[in-house]
Amino acid sequence: MRLRIMMTSAFAVIAALAFSIRTAGAGTFSTQAGQPICATLDDLHAYVLAGMMKDENAEWNCTLVKPGLALEVQEVISKSAIGDLIKAKVSDGGSSIVGYTMNVGLKPR
């Protein structure tokens, strides 16, 4: 299901890249408000680009997760000075989702 999410949320996540906490590797963290979990890397790229370009008509297969959920890093896809792209599992105790996100604002649990 394609979700259209307010661009203000996308822009807030992108702006937070400047304050990103680097992910050293696998571990469990707490999600932050506005953290996207995307089905594919292409969806994550589309989400970030849409926020940067303020494109309100862009579509992607991403979900913004609630803050404070358990996020387990499964793989660091790529590292950069402004943040890492990661594959992660997000759990709320009863259900979970696996997808791609950025390490923006992740805090150890």
Mean pLDDT of 31-51: 90
Alpha carbon distance 63, 71 (integer Å): 14
64, 3, 8: which is closest to 37 by C-alpha?
Answer: 64
Phi first, then psi, for residue 7 (nearest 5°) are -65, -25
20 domain residue, yes or no:
yes
Predicted structure pTM score: 0.71
Using alpha carbons, select from 23, 19, 39, 106 the residue that is nearest to residue 71. Answer: 106
Residue 67: name the closest of 92, 91, 31 by CA.
31
9 pLDDT more than 70: no
Higher confidence at residue 6 or residue 105? 105
Domain of residue 15: give its range: 7-108
Average pLDDT over residues 54-64: 88
Q: Is residue 1 part of a domain?
A: no
Q: Average pLDDT, whole number, for the chain?
A: 77
Domains contained in the chain, number: 1
Residue 94 forms part of a structural domain: yes
